Amino acid sequence: MKHILSALMILTLFISCTKDNNPTVDYTAKNEQEIKDYIAKNNLTAQRSASGLYYVINNPGTGTQPTASSNVTVAYNGYFTDGTVFDKSPDAGISFGLQQVIKGWTEGIPYFKTGGDGVLLVPSHLGYGSYNYQGIPGGSVLIFDVKLISVN
C-alpha cells in the first residue's frame, strides 16, 4: 500500500509538472472576422490564400520573384488593425532569409517581385500564434505594408 501511494504521488507530481499552463487558443474565426472588417473599413481589395493569409498587391514589381527559401531585403511597417505600429524597418530595408521569419512572410513575400509593394494581413496562426511575443499580444492579427527591395 505504501508503494502504491508513493507511486500515485509521483505520478500526480509528474502530471502536474507537465501540464500546459498556457494552453494554445484557436483564434482562427476571430482573426478571420477582424481581417475582413479591416479590409472593408479600409476599402482594400485583398486576396485570401488557402492558409488564411490575406494580401494586397499594390505594385507587383518587375524584377526577380523570391521563393520561400530566398534571402530578401524588405522595407516594412508592421501594425495592428487599430493602427498601432509595433515594428518598422529602416527606409533602406532589412535583409533576412524567408525561412527565418513568421509563416505569413514566408508565404506572402513571394507574391511580389523586386520593386513590388503591398500589404500582408497575417492571422495569428501565421504570425506568433496564441502567445505574447516581444510586445505583440497572443492572437494578434498583424498587418505589414511591405516593399520588396531585392532578392539577394
Q: Which of 86, 96, 136, 145 is catalytic?
A: 86
Q: Which of 112, 128, 143, 149 is catalytic?
A: 128
The C-alpha atoms of residue 56 and residue 58 are separated, in whole angstroms, by: 6
Residues 6+ apart with CB under 8 A from 45: 56
Residues 6+ apart with CB under 8 A from 150: 63, 64, 72, 73, 93, 114
Q: Which of 35, 38, 144, 149 is catalytic?
A: 144
Q: Which of 37, 87, 94, 133 is catalytic?
A: 87
Q: Is 96 a catalytic residue?
A: no
Q: Is 14 a catalytic residue?
A: no
Q: Which of 76, 109, 143, 149 is catalytic?
A: 76
Q: Which of 38, 39, 55, 102 is catalytic?
A: 102
Q: Is 79 a catalytic residue?
A: no
Q: Is the alpha carbon torsion for 67, 68, 73, 75 positive or negative?
A: positive
Q: Is 145 a catalytic residue?
A: no
Task: Give the residue numbers annotated as catalytic, written as ranges.
Answer: 76, 86-87, 102, 128, 144
